[in-house]
Chains A and B, each alone.
Chain A
Amino acid sequence: MPPLLRHVVARLIALIPMLLALSIASFALVHVIPGDPALVMLGGEGTPQQVAELRKQLGLDRPLPVRYWEWLTRVVRGDLGESLYNRTRVVDELIWRFPTTLSLVFLALLISILIGVPAGLLSAVFRNSWVDHAARVLTLVSLSMPSFWLGLMLIILFSLKLNLLPVVGYTSVVTDLWSGLRFLILPSCALGTYLTALIARLVRSSVLEILGLEYIRTARAKGLRERVVLFRHALSNALIPAVTVMGINMGILLGGSAVIETLFVLPGVGQLVITALYNRDLPVIQGLILYISVLYVLINLFVDILYTYLDPRLRFG
């Protein structure tokens, strides 16, 4: 078996206990919460008989392992239960909201790559010039601002003062690309700034490190054009750590998207998490926790495989 394939298979096998543990954790979480879900559903004011009846209906009176097993088999079949609050199926809610979060995160990632990589490269090539200094100051400032505050400032500037973009509201990019983008541009800038700075900084330091290596000297000595040396030899190798950082920070983007969605009132998964928490909507919280952490684990796996693929030493080693 080629090393890369073996690596992938090993990682996939390692995933099984991880997923089981995640499912137990998200199941346990809701059942260690103080307060009786049945009581919560009745608005805290049912007669003892009503509560007992509802508990029986919800299966809350049976032993935990049995309930876990039932819950797990339902989850595997794609049934995450329904909301206590408005009786919608959690899965439907997720399917409806997922595109918003996905387009937000994707756009933020795109912005951070399109700005972060060139900024880092320029900074490294023109080290200690004014370009470098400006880029580094901007990087530091971007790493220090809370994304939601940046979002607020962007709203004040672009929506309220300059009247360029809508303040609230949402149109999906799927139905209308242009007007959807108008609603997404500020949120994704606010969300992507931190990652942009992180990528710029990382690309700068790894390009600087690589430019000092011998194979770059060899490439130059061979008479290759500087452009070829920079892009083919330096940048492509410098991007390997950047990919990992992007992968690790997908979690930051996913989490950050909840804050940004709440601020910009976008109907995404993150906003659902927060609303469910306010409403103490336990089935929704449980379903979301399981769903998002599985997604998170899969993204990490994907990044790991990508990383292995990009780095020939790992691919053939």
Chain B
Amino acid sequence: MSEAIPTVTQATPSPISTAGAASLPPPPTWSERLARVWRQLRRNRLSVIGSGIVATLVLIALAAPFLGLANPVKLNIPQRFLPPGPGHWFGTDQLGRDVLSRVVYGARVSLMASVSTMLLAALPGVLLGIAAGVSSSRISGTIMRVMDLLMSFPPLLLAVAVAAALGTGTRSIIIALGVVYLPRIVRVTRGIALTVVAQEYLLAAQALGNPRWRLILRTVLPNCLSVVVVQLSLYFAEVLLAEAALSFLGLGEPPPTPTWGNVLQDSQKYIRNAPWIAIFPGCAIAVSVLGLNLFGDAVRDAMDPRLRT
């Protein structure tokens, strides 16, 4: 019996485990799992394109100050409404500001807001989801009722409510969207945790006398995470869209700081004569969301054995 324990511990997925051989029918180790996902991903050209787009986007957003762009908030009235061309590849807006530069700097705000939203929703969301998946029906039921209540608020109204309470700004958007996505992440995670709990390897690990916290931390959590991460990348795309919509409505960062949404809000009044102000920020949003969707879909296909064809 004392020999069997290290075997199972070895087979329990762990970030540092590299041993492949296990005597029990084991869950694949992290390295095996990653290797398989990587193989699948490389095979799928769309995922390469998707991750390329996402990586480029993040790089551009991070490197914005070093790209030699015009100041995104500096007024230059004589240069207003210039159509796209050399010097101003995306044209200039009603105050003579460079649209390209506003789109790039807007990416910083929009991405920052979306990443913060995901962190705010995902950290407690995953923990609560796993808690609901492994705990007694009373605790689990309580958690899920509260989540149901949060979900019964239409997302936009929740955002309006938060903005009414805290005032407009990126902070309000992050909090509002965080509250919108929290119950969704809890639900998904709980669903996955329930299937993990039903697996035989968990029973095996339990039979070997592993304490409960160890089962949750070393078996349930890692096995859930791989699936949850995929769902998170798809939620991220949704959050990016929602953030743009809310700042388009004027709930986000006030001008002159550019965000994709408020640049589009500004552009509305000038679409007749200067449609480029409206066209490019929207393209930026669409391409980023497309990248995230491609990536998320591909990772899901790679990880979900049922979808493998």
**A interface residue numbers (CB < 8 A to B):** 18, 21-22, 25-26, 29-30, 32-34, 140-141, 143-150, 152-153, 155-156, 160, 251-252, 254-256, 258-259, 262-263, 270, 273-274, 277-278, 280, 282, 285, 288-289, 292-293, 296-297, 300
Contact = CB atoms under 8 A, between A and B. Distances in A.
Interface string B141-158: 000000011001111110
14 contacts: A140-B293, A143-B293, A144-B237, A144-B289, A144-B293, A150-B282, A152-B264, A156-B278, A252-B155, A258-B156, A262-B249, A273-B156, A273-B157, A289-B153
Contact of B157 (A32, A145, A293): A293
Given A148-B245, A277-B251, A29 B164 contact: yes
A152 B152 CA distance: 30
Contacts of A254: 154, 156
A277 B160 contact: yes
Contacts of A145: 282, 285-286, 289
Contacts of B165: 29, 32-34
B201 interface: no
B248 A259 contact: yes
A274 B271 CA distance: 22
Given A146-B286, A259-B249, 11 more contacts: A25-B149, A29-B164, A30-B164, A144-B285, A145-B282, A146-B289, A149-B285, A156-B271, A156-B278, A255-B157, A289-B157
A255 to B, nearest CB: 3
B285 to A, nearest CB: 5
Contacts of A34: 165
Contact of B164 (A21, A33, A258): A33
A141 B286 CA distance: 8
Most chain B beta-carbon contacts within 10 A, residue among A18, A30, A149, A280: A149
A259 to B, nearest CB: 5
Given A29-B164, A140-B290, A274-B160, A300 B152 contact: yes
Contacts of A153: 278-279, 282
B241 interface: yes
B86 to A, nearest CB: 24
B53 to A, nearest CB: 10
Contacts of B96: none
Contacts of B55: none
Most chain A beta-carbon contacts within 10 A, residue among B165, B279, B285, B287: B165
A209 to B, nearest CB: 10
A149 B286 contact: yes
A263 B156 CA distance: 15
